[in-house]
Chains A and B, each alone.
Chain A
Amino acid sequence: MTKIVVAVKYVPDATADRTFSADNTVDRAGVDGLLSELDEYAVEQALQVVEAGEGEVVVLTVGPDDAADAVRKALQMGADAGIHVQDDAIHGSDAFATSAILAAAIEKVGDYDLLFFGMASTDAGLGVVPTLVAERLGLPAVTYASEITVDGETVTIRRDGDVATQEIEATGKLVVSVTDQTGEARYPSFKGIMAAKKKPVEEWTLADLGVDAASVGLDNAWTKVESFEPRPPRTAGEIVTDEGDGGTKLVDFLASKKFV
């Protein structure tokens, strides 16, 4: 019996025009959102672990009203239950405050075995929340897992790094972040979509978690965004059509910039 909590994030669609709000936070209202694509791989791996044995997948998100969509998508894929932490005080929370809220929610769940995350979000994309949650819970984190095998109490994970491929073995509670190399995530089936409507979704506030509202949110962050600016548009470059001399022209350009 393995109980896996998968933390997921509701993000602005990466193909839309993403921007910032007046208070220098990511604009999450003006853009359509969805379950972060990279979190689908974590949900998929959790489902596969549970399907290979026995267990339960609980999906957890922290975010505004619309973040319920991310939970619903994971339930449609096959997760058993959802938790949505929502509180007005959370707006503007950075990765550190978010990790505190997630850690408190995970402690409230209590009887979990494994914690799965996507490798990074598709908006901020720092990939640091899994590590921070692990640090707060006093757990090891195996990040960027390419392959996960659970055998009884032992979890074996393959990580494909830049210089080496590592194999890591752990027993006991563990945080794992999952890459897109673990395998395609399933699409919700019609049956899955219907079944998701009956699955329980708990709604928790900061008070339910015993998290002090004064420790999270924009005003209490340990870092402060002073300003942001759009990257200056690239000035249109020179485009030539290859008429048998494209390679030569390319190198002429590189030479003019002293790359050759």
Chain B
Amino acid sequence: MTEVLVLIDAPDGKVTKPSLELLTIARRIGEPSAIVFGSADNGVLAEYGAEKIYTYDDSAYSDYLVGPKAEAIAQLVGETSPAAVLVAASTEGKEISARVALKTQAGWIGDAVDVQADGGTITTTQSVFAGNFTVQSQITQGAPVISIKPNSTAPEAVAGAGAVEAKTADISDAAKTAKITSSKEKAASGRPELTEAAIVVSGGRGTGGDFTEVEAFADSLGAAVGASRAAVDSGWYPHTFQVGQTGKTVSPQLYVANGISGAIQHRAGMQTSKTIVAVNKDDEAPIFELVDFGVVGDLKAVLPQATEAVKQRKG
């Protein structure tokens, strides 16, 4: 079995769920080898199938943009000749992977929602045009470098050897020209991360600027909170939480749209959700064309009642 390199994201050492999903997908192709910049919980990586764990420790990886990480991974590809390189389709993941693909002269796939291996052939699935089409692609040159969206599979625990190997890489001066001079952590909301959450409850123009009911319902379900562009542009909710073409693309098990009409810009960010529910006063809102269940009504009345009902069921 050949190695499959998997870039691990582990803020403060805690391995993210999308990283575990990558390890699970890697096992379809070969033997997962984790790449860790800084440190991660190696026990968790082994538990989810990492046979090897390559660790890199150098301040260059955190002081500069993606350049140093991309150089290190490209060098590792040269050393290990992997069957594929998998990264999460985050902003940073896409940048690193695109640079690695170019450095290693290999084909690149962005935002894959599925990866299947049949013998030596890897086929990826992407969702395009606001989720209206799915596209199957293959890579014709080099070791495929694939960025994969969160929630593309469920992480499965299968023990791997988890052999740790400390590595160093040659970092060029060119990779160190744009310096991160400050980084201010955002206050944690206590809710799951928007793109990783199993349930997303979002609000739009219909909230009238008050997200109290939306947040309360989200919290009763343990969900992340999202917002439409109209709500963000009105200054009602931070841009980080915007779902849509110019915000986040989410694909949760359940998406609940409240007071959101469902314009194409919004659909682009949520149309691939497994189950879609909407609450809207306007029975002709386009969002109702997408839903599995819809309530025509005022979210200010429907959501508080729903929140109570969830709490009662959960006892």
Name A's B-contacting residues (CB within 8 A): 14-15, 18-20, 38, 95-96, 99, 119, 122-128, 131-132, 135-136, 138-144, 156, 160-172, 174, 179-181, 221-231, 234, 237-242, 244-255, 257, 259-260
Interface residue B168 (Cβ < 8 Å from any Cβ of A): no
- B199 adjacent to A239 (CB under 8 Å): no
Selected contact of B264 from candidates A14, A125, A167, A254, CB within 8 Å: A14
Q: Using Cβ atoms and an 8 Å threshold, which residues of chain B touch A180?
A: 246
A228 to B124, CA, bound (A): 11
| Contact (Cβ within 8 A) B305 A247 | yes
Q: CB < 8 Å: which of A131, A222, A229, A248 contacts B99? A: A131
Contact B302 A135 (CB under 8 A): no
Q: Please indicate which of the listed interface residues B135, B175, B279 has the most CB atoms of chain A within 10 Å of its own CB.
A: B135
* A251, B310: Cβ atoms closer than 8 Å: yes
Interface band, chain B: 35 or more
Residue of B nearest to A242 (CB): B297
Name the residue among A18, A168, A246 with the largest chain B CB count within 10 angstroms. Answer: A246
Give B105 Cβ to nearest chain A Cβ, in Å. Answer: 8
Chain A contacts for B32, CB-based, 8 A: none
CB 8 Å contact bits of B231-272 with A (1 = contact, 0 = none): 000000001100001100000011000000000110010011
Across the interface, name the chain B residue whose C-beta is closest to A239: B294
Please give, as numbers and ranges, the residues of chain A lying within 8 Å of B37 by CB-CB distance: none
Q: A160-B240, A237-B294 are in contact. Are A231 and B133 (CB under 8 A)?
A: yes
Rounded to whole Å, the gap between the CB of B211 and the closest CB of chain A is 17
Residues in A neighbouring B54, C-beta threshold 8 A: none
- A228–B272 Cα distance when bound, in Å, is 16
CA distance A141 to B95 in the complex (A): 9
A163:B293 contact, CB within 8 angstroms: no
For A181, the closest partner residue in chain B by CB is: B239
Is B289 close to A, CB under 8 A?
A: yes
Measured CA separation A138–B313 after assembly (Å): 58
A168 and B181 contact, CB distance less than 8 A: yes
* Complex Cα–Cα for A170 and B246 (A): 26
Q: Would B183 and A164 count as touching, CB distance under 8 A? A: yes
B17 to chain A, nearest CB (A): 14
> Does chain A have a CB within 8 A of B139?
yes
- In the complex, the answer to whether B184 meets A96 with C-beta atoms within 8 Å is no
Q: Are B184 and A164 in contact (CB under 8 A)?
A: yes
A170 to B175, CA, bound (A): 12
**Inter-subunit contact B302/A224 (CB<8 Å):** no
Asked whether B170 is an interface residue with its Cβ less than 8 Å from the other chain, the reply is no
Residue of B nearest to A228 (CB): B135
A240: chain B residues within 8 A (beta carbon): 293-296
Instruction: List, in ascending order, chain B residues with CB within 8 A of A255's CB.
Output: 313
Name B102's contact: one of A96, A144, A221, A259 (CB within 8 Å): A96
Chain A hits for B107, CB < 8 A: 96, 221-223
Please report the C-alpha to C-alpha distance between residue A25 and residue B289 in the assembled complex, in whole angstroms: 28
CB <8 Å contact, A225 and B137? yes
CB distance from A121 to the nearest CB of B (A): 10
User: Does residue B91 face the partner (Cβ distance < 8 Å to A)?
Assistant: yes
Q: Is the CB of B136 within 8 A of A228?
A: yes
